[in-house]
Structure 1
Amino acid sequence: MNEAIQLIDAVARNSYAGQMTFGEVVGKLIGAGVESYFADYRSGRTTYYLQDGSVHAVDFGRKEYPIPAAFDAIALLAAIRGAQRDAVRYPEFIQLSMAAGCVGYIVWIAGRHVSYFGHAGEVHVEHFPSAN
């Protein structure tokens, strides 16, 4: 297994365990050459897309939290703000965002934003906070 894949796996493990902030995750993934990643709550898998064109997927297991059909952007935003303040770590973020009707999201590292998706194709775009 190459070094980048080992780093991605370690970051995923630590993130799923609630041991890293979103900023720490992104920083480590940049170091591994990741340009974007897709967390699919319905399949329980995160797929990482590397700058060299390779792809690596990590199964995190399907969470048995219900995902309502309605997309609640306000509740999703509250979960996002909690994560930005480090009041919410990834295990709780998964539960809160799923409860808001989110089925998954794509982190666009180079574009510095995240696109969150609902069942009917609703999209909430959240830009990375500025580093002030």
Structure 2
Amino acid sequence: MRKKETAAKTSSANPFEKGTYAFKSLITEQPNYKETVDYWKTAYKSFTGLPPSKKEAGTLHDDQDNASFVALYNPSSNATADCRVVTCTQTTTTTATPGALMATAEGSSETTKKGYALLCKTMPAGLASDASAPFT
């Protein structure tokens, strides 16, 4: 099998490369990247030095802000980041009571709310294993 075919097979067999995710909820669908990076930087105060390995950290890496900090500052020389804004839509339908139903033509109303988030995935994973620290 040629090298190119091997890469294609590997890619389709394992389409999701391991990485570390950074997350930030947004109030609009247009992210303010400087504000978001500054927000993620504030997680540094959670650490007394360089971030420890998962094994040594207890629940420190369970906090999404801390995980986002580790993702953002991926120390690998070949690190890449892929960021996307996601939109979540919540639609609520309210049905009128039987008495009010006669007063309205449709008898129900719909309200829609949207929420936004910035998701970034850095690769390779910032915490490659439970025993290794992300920044060495």
Structure whose alpha-carbon radius of gyration is higher: 2
**TM-score bracket for this pair, using the shorter chain length:** under 0.3
Higher relative contact order structure (alpha carbons within 8 Å, sequence separation ≥ 6): 2
Query: TM-score, normalised on structure 2?
Result: 0.23
